[in-house]
């Protein structure tokens, strides 16, 4: 008889299977790598004229400015799309196997979370390589870039935690719009294209209260070497990541109760 499989054993097993599936299936792997690139090309390339606005003051330039947005977007969406895989496994019944075999079921969503982080690292590595190749300037110190990674990790967990909770609650990929739409709105109701001070009208008011604005500003600040309100952004990100993890756990219990 086996020794009881602990939390990390289950987490590792789930993560290994999901990461293997992701790397092996082009229909999952390629879009996740290509879309950040396409968005980067479209925004940094197609909107580069905005960098010439008199009120646009960002020393590293518009390419780096957009790269910061792509970083945040990719981190959040990597978490989100990993939760899609969880929803799919729940709907098709494969998750039942995981529920049946796992002594500690918390390891199941934790395993998917680990894969979300891995997917984000891969996608961001690709877009970073391309951005550097086209001359993006990064003026942050090594220490600031480490903090940038920490912030990115927290964003992945925020995107994943929110969507995984929805996936466990509804247990179907039909819940995709419910998972995706709030994240999409949060990302774009922020200074996506221009700095906060250049936003006009209602979107400026919304962006002021949008947590993503803080993450964006912190990300761009770290890239430029002049982070502002970094501590607030990190604490807010950590708090939201913890809150959404609680949301995932709450819905895991609901999934167990529903069978």
Partner 1 sequence: MLTIALRAFLKTVRQPFQLFPLIFFPAILLAINASGLTAATELRGFPTHSYLTFAIAVAYVQGALFALVNAGTNLAEDIESGFFTRLALTPLSRAALLGGLLIGIAAVGVLQSLVYLLIGAVAGAHLHGGLPGAFLLLGLGAFASAGFGAGGIAAALLLRSGEAVQGLFPLFFVLLILSSANLPRNLLHGWFHTVATYNPFSYLIEGFRAVYLSGFPAGPLLGAVAVIAGTWLLFGSAAVALLWRSLRPG
Partner 2 sequence: MSTPPDPAIRVEGLVREFPGGLRAVDGIDLAVSKGEIYGFLGPNGAGKSTTVAILTTLLPPTAGRAVVVGHDVTAEGAQVRRKIGASLQQSALDPYLTAWEHIRLQGALHGLPRPHTQRRGEELLHRLGLSEAASRKVRTYSGGMQRRLDLALALLHEPQVLFLDEPTTGLDVQSRTGLWEEIKALAQRGVTVFLTTQYLEEADLLADRVGIIDRGRIVAEGPPSRLKAEIGRPALEAIPADPASAAGLAKLLERFGEPLSLGTTDGVSIRLQGGTGELAEIVRAIDAAGIAVADLRIHAPTLDDVFLAKTGRRLEGGGEG
Residues near partner 2 (CB under 8 A) are 1-6, 9-10, 12-14, 16-17, 20-21, 24-25, 89, 92-94, 96-104, 256-259
Query: Closest CB to partner 1 among 193 and 247?
Result: 193
Residue 15: CA atoms inside 13 Å, Cβ hemisphere, count? 17
Per-residue contact flags (x/-) with partner 1 for residues 151 to 190, judged by CB under 8 A: -----------------------x--x-------x--xx-
Q: Does 55 engage in binding with partner 1 (CB under 8 A)?
A: yes
Concatenated DSSP letters for 29-85?
HHHHHHHHHHHHIIIIIHTGGGGGSTT---TT-HHHHHHHHHHHHHHHHHHHHHHHH
Q: Which of 33, 198, 236, 238 binds partner 1 (CB under 8 A)?
A: 198
250 token code pair: 């709450």
CB of 253 to partner 1, least distance (A): 28
Using the minimum distance from each CB to partner 1, give the nearer residue, 51 or 225. 51
Q: Which does 246 bind (CB under 5 to 8 A by kind): partner 2, partner 1, none?
A: none
Q: Can you tell me the distance from the alpha carbon of 192 to that of 148, in angstroms, rounded to the nearest whole number?
A: 18
Contact region for partner 1 (CB under 8 A) — 71-79, 198-206, 216-224, 249-257? 198-206
Burial of 225 (0-12, 13-18, 19+ CB in 10 A): middle
* Residue 34: C-alpha distances to residues 28, 124, 150, 177, 185 (Å): 11, 11, 23, 21, 21
CA 207/CA 154 separation, integer angstroms? 20
Q: Pick one of partner 1, partner 2, none as the site partner of residue 142 (Cβ within 5 to 8 A by kind).
A: none
The C-alpha atoms of residue 74 and residue 85 are separated, in whole angstroms, by: 17
Listed ranges 16-24, 94-102, 105-113, 192-200: which one lies at the site for partner 1 (CB under 8 A) = 192-200
For partner 1, the closer CB: 2 or 27 = 27
């Amino acid at each position: 008889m086996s020794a009881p499989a602990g939390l990390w054993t289950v987490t590792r097993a789930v993560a290994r299977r999901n990461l293997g599936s992701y790397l092996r299936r082009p229909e999952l792997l390629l879009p996740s790598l290509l879309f950040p690139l396409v968005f980067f090309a479209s925004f940094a390339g197609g909107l580069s004229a905005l960098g010439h606005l008199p009120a646009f003051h960002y020393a590293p330039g518009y390419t780096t400015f957009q790269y910061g947005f792509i970083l945040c977007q990719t981190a959040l969406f990597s978490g989100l799309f990993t939760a899609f895989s969880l929803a799919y496994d729940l709907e098709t019944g494969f998750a039942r196997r995981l529920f049946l075999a796992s002594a500690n079921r918390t390891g199941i969503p934790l395993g998917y979370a680990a894969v979300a982080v891995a997917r984000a690292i891969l996608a961001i590595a690709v877009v970073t390589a391309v951005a550097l190749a086209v001359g993006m300037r990064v003026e942050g110190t090594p220490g600031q870039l480490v903090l940038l990674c920490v912030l990115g990790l927290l964003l992945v967990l925020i995107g994943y935690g929110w969507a995984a909770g929805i996936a466990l609650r509804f247990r179907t990929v039909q819940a995709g719009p419910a998972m995706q739409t709030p994240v999409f709105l949060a990302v774009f109701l922020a200074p996506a294209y221009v700095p906060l001070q250049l936003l006009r009208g209602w979107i400026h008011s919304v962006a002021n209260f949008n947590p993503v604005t803080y993450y964006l500003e912190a990300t761009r600040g770290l890239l430029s070497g002049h982070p502002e309100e970094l501590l607030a952004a990190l604490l807010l990100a950590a708090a939201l990541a913890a809150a959404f993890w609680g949301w995932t756990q709450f819905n895991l219990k609901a999934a167990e109760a529903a069978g």
